[in-house]
């Protein structure tokens, strides 16, 4: 299924800067430099659109991903603040999507750059309200360099 299962937990927050300070003060976590990453194509509810997400990850593992709520889709505040998803590395995201579809598990949103799959969120009803995010291993090196502070995050870089 995954190469390094469940490497992060995503948390939806109303304000990223405030959340970084709060998680630092309460849990002693340090965070990577926040990024405004552009998802070239976010496919959700039958619509494909470009989307910017304001996000950071804790440097300490297990990684907490803080995502600033925006809009009314998968990242919208209507989803409630707190645990948003569990994320795991997937070597072949399209095959994994097909595998879960065969089990009756649909996607809530798919992130793409043309034909390149950048990840997918699966229907939260499947796991009692918690989404699973399949994160393709093709972005792993860029993600790791960003979180460790040795590079910028570019979800498109392989």
- 11-20, 75-84, 99-108, 146-155: range with lowest mean pLDDT: 146-155
1: pLDDT strictly greater than 70: no
- The answer to the question of residue 155 being in a domain is no
- The answer to the question of residue 120 being in a domain is yes
- The answer to the question of residue 157 being in a domain is no
State how many domains the chain has. 1
* pLDDT score at 46: 92
Return the bridge partners of 42, or none.
49, 111
* pLDDT score at 153: 66
- The answer to the question of residue 25 being in a domain is yes
Q: For the domain that residue 53 is a member of, what is the CATH number?
A: 3.10.180.10
91-129 burial string, b = 16+ CB within 10 Å, else e? Answer: eebeebbeebeeeeeebbbbbbeeebbbbbbbebebeee
pLDDT-derived band at 19 (thresholds 50, 70, 90) equals very high
Model confidence pLDDT, tens digit, residues 81-105: 999 999 999 998 889 999 999 999 9
- The residues, ordered by sequence, that sit 6+ positions from 11 with a Cβ below 8 Å of its Cβ are 19, 64, 65, 66, 67, 81, 82, 83, 84
pTM of the model: 0.90
* pLDDT score at 17: 98
* pLDDT score at 84: 96
- The answer to the question of residue 1 being in a domain is no
Domain that holds residue 138: 8-147
* pLDDT score at 2: 43
- The answer to the question of residue 58 being in a domain is yes
- The answer to the question of residue 118 being in a domain is yes
- The answer to the question of residue 152 being in a domain is no
Q: How many CB atoms lie within 10 A of CB 130?
A: 15
Model confidence pLDDT, tens digit, residues 45-71: 999 999 999 999 999 988 999 999 999
């Amino acid at each position: 299924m995954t190469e390094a299962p469940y490497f992060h937990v995503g948390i939806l927050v109303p304000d990223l800067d405030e959340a970084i300070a709060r998680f630092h003060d309460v849990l002693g976590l340090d965070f990577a430099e926040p990024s405004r990453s552009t998802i070239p194509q976010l496919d959700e509810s039958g619509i494909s659109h470009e989307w910017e997400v304001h996000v950071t990850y804790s440097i300490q593992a297990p990684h907490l991903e803080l995502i600033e709520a925006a809009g009314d889709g998968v990242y919208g505040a209507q989803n409630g603040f707190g645990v948003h998803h569990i994320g795991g590395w997937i070597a072949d995201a399209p095959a994994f999507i097909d595998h879960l579809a065969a089990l009756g598990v649909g996607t809530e949103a798919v992130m793409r750059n043309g034909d390149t799959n950048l990840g997918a969120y699966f229907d939260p009803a499947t796991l009692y309200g918690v989404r699973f995010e399949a994160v393709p291993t093709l972005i792993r090196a860029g993600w790791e360099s960003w979180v460790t502070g040795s590079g910028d995050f570019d979800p498109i870089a392989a």
